[in-house]
A and B are shown apart, each in its own frame.
Chain A
Amino acid sequence: MLTKLLEIRNIMIDTYRKVRHFVNPVIKFIIALLVFSNINSAIGFNPDFAKTSIVLVMSLVSAVTPGGVMVFLAMVLALLHVYYASLFLSIIVLMIFIVLYAALMRFSNGNAIVAVLIPLLAPLNLHFAVPMVLGCVATPVSVLPCACGVAFYYLIDVIKTVAGKAIEEINLDEIITYYKDILDVMIGQKEMYIVIIVFALVIIVVFLLRRLPFDYSFLISVGAGAAVNIIGLLVGSLKFDLSISVGSIIFMSIICAFITMASDFMKRVLDYTAIEHVQFEDDDFYYYVKAVPKIKISMTNHNIKVLSPGDDDVSEGEEYPDDEDYVSAYSEQAPGYDLYSDYDEEPEPEPEGEENLAMQYAMSDVEGDYEADYEEEMTDESDYDETGYDEAGYDDPGYADTGYDDSDYDRN
């Protein structure tokens, strides 16, 4: 069972490593596509901008640019639709957008995408996962973009309700009354304030508990985040009439806690196993280097040993077929991205030029050196560090003495 799980994980990591360069843009493209089509279906007043071709072009642009660009394009699209419905309403929405950007989005610090993820996930109530994930991976400053995302979601709701009136002719005298109506609807969104406050609390609770130095602090922090989410929203729904039902608050919070745990695990595993391609140069050469983190588990080479009491001999499940594989299974490396983590440097020769020969020579030279490195690692167990997967650590010299390969078990 354990080995099966490890193999499944290994297959996932391997596949991701191979397709990593395509996966991230594809995921962003899909998110962008969903965001823009959601905006079009909710407030798509202008049929010209609701065209599939425009949505596709904007999604493509968002796929290859930072998250902030997607948010900006979503704002522009929403604004263009509102402008088509009513000039006056679009001015108000523009002003609100500027305020939201200047006071909240500006501090997103690379997490701008949450501002569009929350409105996207909110209809399914899956947006509860967003503050929990932010608490795990970001700082409490992410409260601000998170609040911005919630504001966007309810703002679109408001535009939907008030824009119907806007399409009709409005006299100048009526504009003030109309404007008051709009702001009344916006100010009257009690649910928005409750959700913003609860999400902020969830982020802070998860962030603080996550960093406490005790075992299972990660699980406890996510659990506490889910609890704060449930209690906060339930209290909110007792005081005010929320559109989210009590059942879905509880059920979806628990589901979102599991999603958070899964995404955190995937993030840690996938981020630190990614193959790096870097280029640099010195006085003599250009280097094109592919750096492969050493965390590969050989598919069939798990050294399972059955230890029975009173039996000094160790019966082995499977032997390592050869030294090289043994080494690769043994030398699993700490996943934390660190300047000092050992990368398996593999200089690739430049395809053209005089240096080609020299590089090829260097490559074989480097490979020869790896063996020496592996050997060093094998003998130096004290330096072996499995942080990142198991924070509690597992250090039993008894196992080490018998040559028991605990690295696979350490992770789980």
Chain B
Amino acid sequence: MIDNRKVRIMTRMSIYEKHEGKEDLKLNKYFKSDYARLQVLKTLVSITLAYAIVLVLVALYQLEYLIDNALTLDYPELGKMILAYYIIVLAVYLVGALVGYGLKYQFSRKRLKKYYKLLRSLKEIYKEEDSYRSNM
């Protein structure tokens, strides 16, 4: 015997799972801090890669100057400058990633709460069914 209430709830849950739920349930595997940390780590890797490539492009652009002044260049100063820019870029991206992914996680939790509410009402229906069967 099909219970209409169950069909309704399960349909709503299944529509959610089909759309936003896919991503939300993936995020749900992590704690907020773990998720944010993982994303920050990924951002760190990608930004480091991008920065390294930009450095190579700049170095190639200035190759003539670099070769001409190879002996007179102030390498520690140059290193400091490269590092300073790297830290600034990285800080911007990492703070952005931390805030952005944190918010994303929070929003997904809000939607999941509704999903869990549906799950609870489904559980109630199952409980009712069980008690009905045991009374028969």
Q: List residues of A whose CB falls within 8 A of some B CB.
A: 92, 95-96, 98-99, 102-103, 106-107, 139, 141, 176, 179-180, 183, 276, 278-280, 282, 285, 287, 289, 291, 337, 339-340, 343, 345, 347, 358-359, 361-362, 365-366, 369
Q: How far is the CA of A365 from the CA of B6 in the complex (A)?
A: 13
Cβ of B47 under 8 Å from chain A: yes
- Asked whether B31 is an interface residue with its Cβ less than 8 Å from the other chain, the reply is no
Tell me, in angstroms, the Cα distance from A179 to B93 when the chains sit together: 29
Q: Bound state CA distance, A337 and B111, in angstroms? A: 12
- Please tell me the number of chain B residues within 8 Å of chain A, measured between CB atoms: 35
A98 and B114 contact, Cβ closer than 8 Å, known pairs A176-B64, A276-B18, A347-B2: no
Measured CA separation A253–B12 after assembly (Å): 41
**What 8 additional pairs, Cβ within 8 angstroms, besides A102-B50, A183-B57, A280-B14?**
A98-B50, A176-B60, A278-B18, A287-B10, A289-B7, A291-B15, A358-B1, A365-B2
Determine if B53 and A366 form an interchain contact, defined as CB atoms under 8 angstroms apart: no
- A339 and B46 contact, CB distance less than 8 A: no
Q: Please report the C-alpha to C-alpha distance between residue A369 and residue B14 in the assembled complex, in whole angstroms.
A: 21
Q: Report whether over half of chain A's contact residues are helix, strand or loop; otherwise say mixed.
A: helix
Per-residue CB contact flags for chain B residues 43-67 toward chain A (1 = under 8 Å, else 0) read: 1001101100110110011011000
A179–B60 touching, CB < 8 Å: yes
Complex contact B4–A369 (CB within 8 A): yes
Q: Does B35 contact A (CB under 8 A)?
A: no
Known: A103-B47, A291-B15. A345 touches B61 (CB 8 A): no
Which residue in B16, B47, B57 is a CB contact (below 8 Å) of A92?
B57
Count: A-B pairs, CB below 8 Å:
93
Chain B hits for A103, CB < 8 A: 46-47, 50, 93
Q: Does any Cβ of A come within 8 Å of B106's Cβ? A: no
Within 8 A of A (CB), among B82-117: 93, 96, 100, 111, 114-115
10 A-B interface contacts by CB (under 8 A):
A95-B53, A102-B49, A106-B43, A139-B100, A141-B100, A176-B63, A282-B6, A287-B10, A339-B15, A362-B1
Give, as a whole number of angstroms, the nearest-CB distance from B7 to chain A: 6
CA–CA, A279 to B10, complex, Å?
10
